[in-house]
Amino acid sequence: MLKQIEKHILKIEKYKADSIESIEHFRIEYLGKKGVLNDLFLAFKNIPSEEKKEFGQALNKLKIKAQEKVEILQKHFTEKKSLKNREIDLTMSAEPLPLGSRHPLSIVKNDIIEIFSRLGFTISEGPEIEDDWHNFSALNLPEEHPARDMQDTFFIQRNPDTLLRTHTSSVQVRFMENNKAPIRTISPGRVFRNEAISARAHCIFHQIEGLYIDENVSFADLKQTLLHFAQEFFGEETKIRLRPSYFPFTEPSAEVDISCNICKGKGCNICKYSGWVEILGCGMVDPNVLDNCGIDSKKYSGFAFGMGIERITMLKYQVKDLRLFFENDIRFLEQFKHA
C-alpha cells in the first residue's frame, strides 16, 4: 500500500496538463468523490493500528501534493489565458513623457534680462577664463590693491596672468573697449571664487552685470532704473534703499536693499528682522575705468551694477540653501515647472 502511494506521488510530480479540461480530469481522478484519495482513505480505516501512523503520514503527503499540483496548474493556465485575452487598443494614447522644466536660475536670469531689455539694454557676454586686466586692473584694481582680497580668486597655475573671472564686471571692460558710447548692456554669466561651499556660498555662481554710459547720466538715473527693476521683479509695492559702500570701479558706490518681499517689511528671519534685504552693488562708473577702456570720461558718465542670480532666486522663491541649485535633484527642479 505504501508503495502504491509513492507511485502516485511520482505520477503527480511528473504530470503535465495541456488544457483546463485535462486539469479538471486530473483533479477528479485524485481529489474527486470517487477519486484515488478517497479510496485510499477508505482503505486506511482497515489498516492495523500499528501501521496507521506511517500510512496516515504518507496519505497526507499525497493529498497535499495533489492539491498543490492542481492549484499551480490552474493558476498557470488562467494567467496564460488572461494574457491572450488582453486586447491591444491601437488608438490608446501612449504613456505621457515627463516634461522637463527650466532651471530656476535660468527662469530668473531670463526674467531679469526681459526687464532690462524693455529699457533698451542689450545682452553681452565675455569669457569665463579672464586675464588680470579685464578682471582687475582696468577696473581700477591695480596689482597689490587691497580690494583684490575682497574676492578670493582662482588663478591658473601655468599662467598667473590668467584666472577664472570673479565677477561679470570684466564684461563691462570688454564691452567698453569694443563699443562706442552710448552703451546700455547687461551681461549674465558664471563667476568663480575660492569659497567654502555652504548654504549661503558656492565657488561657482552666477551674476548679471549692468552698464549704462551716455552724456549726462546721473545717480538719479541709476536709482530710478534700479527702483523700476525691483518693482517689476519683486512687485510694485517694493521699496529700495541705497546704502553708501565701496567698489574700486565706481565712485560713489552703493549697495541696494529691497523691502523684504517675504514679511513685507514687518521683520522675519530672511531679512534678519530688519525689513530690508540686500540685492546688489552699484555706483557711478569711476572716470579712471572709462579712460582705461577708451571712453572719454570728460564727455561721458555712466552707472553700473552687479547682482548675484542665486541670491535673487533665493529671495524670489524662498530657497534656503544655495547648494540645491547645483544638485539637480528632480524633486527640487520640478517645483519650478510652472514658475
Q: Say if residues 279 and 259 touch (Cβ distance below 8 Å).
A: no
Q: Which stretch binds ligand DAH (CB under 6 A): 33-41, 94-102, 173-181, 300-308?
A: 300-308
Give the nearer residue to ligand DAH in terms of CB position, either 73 or 282. Answer: 282
Distance CA 81, CA 75 (A): 10
Q: Which three cell numbers stand for residue 174?
A: 570688454
The answer to whether the bond into 252 is cis (omega within 30° of 0) is yes
Please report how close the Cβ of residue 104 comes to ligand DAH at its closest, in angstroms.
21
What is the spatial distance between Cα 262 and Cα 242, in angstroms, rounded to a whole number? 19
Angstrom distance (rounded) from CA 5 to CA 9? 6
SS3 call for 318: coil
Shortest distance, CB of residue 256 to ligand DAH, whole angstroms? Answer: 10
Strands 183-192 and 122-123, bridge-based pairing: parallel
Q: Which is nearer to ligand DAH, 207 or 238 (CB)?
A: 207
Rg (alpha carbons) of the chain, rounded to whole number: 40
Cα separation, 158 vs 87, in Å, equals 68
Answer for the pair 208, 222: CB distance below 8 angstroms, yes or no: no
- 10-39 residues in contact with ligand DAH (CB under 6 A) are none
Residue 218's H or E segment, with its range, is: none
Of 281, 286, 295, 313, the one binding ligand DAH by CB under 6 A: 281
Q: CA angle 252-256-258, nearest 5°?
A: 160
Q: Which stretch binds ligand DAH (CB under 6 A): 114-122, 156-164, 276-284, 314-322?
A: 276-284
Residue 192: name the closest of 221, 212, 165, 173 by CA: 165
**For ligand DAH, which residue of 134, 148, 165, 167 counts as binding (CB under 6 A)?**
167
Question: In the bound complex, what is the minimum distance in angstroms from residue 304's beta carbon to ligand DAH?
Answer: 3
- What's the closest the beta carbon of residue 167 comes to ligand DAH, in angstroms? 3
**Residue 180: strand pairing partners:** none
Q: Is 305 one of the binding residues for ligand DAH (CB under 6 A)?
A: yes
Separation CA 297–CA 286 (nearest Å): 9
Contact between 169 and ligand DAH per CB under 6 A: yes
Query: Does residue 171 interact with ligand DAH by CB under 6 A?
Result: no
> Which one of 104, 248, 302, 306 is in contact with ligand DAH (CB under 6 A)?
306
CA of residue 258 relative to chain centroid, distance: 27
* Residues 6 or more apart in contact with residue 103 via CB below 8 angstroms: 325, 333, 336
Among 304, 309, 315, 322, binds ligand DAH (CB under 6 A): 304
Q: Going residue by residue from 229 to 268, which x/- string records binding to ligand DAH, judged by CB under 6 A?
A: ------------------x--x------------------
- Shortest Å distance, C-beta 166 to ligand DAH: 7
Q: Which stretch binds ligand DAH (CB under 6 A): 93-101, 262-270, 277-285, 316-324?
A: 277-285
Residues binding ligand DAH: number (CB under 6 A): 11
Q: Is 136 in the site for ligand DAH (CB under 6 A)?
A: no
Tell me how far, at minimum, the Cβ of 282 lies from ligand DAH, in Å: 5
Q: Binding string, 174-213, against ligand DAH, x = CB under 6 A?
A: -----------------------------------x----
Distance CA 204, CA 210 (A): 20
- Using CB under 6 A as the criterion, which residues of the chain lie in contact with ligand DAH when the complex forms? 167, 169, 209, 247, 250, 281-283, 304-306
